Amino acid sequence: MELFPTLKIGWLNGWLAIVLLGLTEGILFLVFPKKVVRRLWDRSGWSPKQQVFTIAGKLCALVCLALLAFTPLKIGSPAFVVGMILIAFGLLGLVKALVDFKNTPLDEPVTRGIYRVSRHPQIVTSSVVLLGACIAIGSWIAVAFWAAARLLEHFGILAEEEVCLKQYGEPYRAYLKRAPRYFWVF
């Protein structure tokens, strides 16, 4: 791992992980009913402060994605192997989370499947994919921008929980008590 990676355009760069993540989500979104996809992206009910923090997080994520796109993978290194394992694990978890989300009726909070062990498995698993990509390119600065993005986007997660609490009431409040936010951590 190095602090600043050497940037160059190439076929074997970190952009491959971004494409895998985008294809995974894109294919599933194409086969999901439109109402399910709209539910995924609904941001109504968020305060301006929550929106600003989320936008700031997305800007940090954009810098991270740019670093990934223009940094060669460290093929053959231990960092590459660890990164690829995280990417694979994250993609499998993301598919499971999205399928569980799709299979929940629209008028109910999503609490089944992988959502029993995390209130936000889609965010966590896609974050694991991107962390794996940052490690696979061997860049500490990419990891730092990834961490900043995750930290700032946490406010979006809090907003999402507030909206769900208003929308679903007591069933969601009970769910907040029994399922951790980020798997077994919080």
83: confidence class by pLDDT, cuts 50, 70, 90: very high
- The whole-number pLDDT of residue 142 equals 93
Phi, psi of 34 (to 5 degrees): -60, -35
Residue 11: inside a domain = no
**Residue range(s) defining the domain that contains residue 104:** 48-178
Binning pLDDT at 50, 70 and 90, where does residue 125 land?
very high
* 184 domain residue, yes or no: no
Is pLDDT above 70 for 184? no
Inside any domain, residue 101: yes
Domain count, the chain: 1
8 within domain boundaries: no
The per-residue pLDDT for range 14-57, each reduced to its tens digit, is 888 888 888 998 888 888 888 888 877 777 777 787 778 888 88
Give the C-alpha separation, 72 to 142, whole Å: 13
Residue 29 lies in a domain: no
User: Within a domain: residue 23?
Assistant: no
Single pTM value for the model? 0.86
Using CA atoms, how far residue 5 sits from 17, 65, 70, 136, 165, in Å, is 17, 13, 9, 11, 43
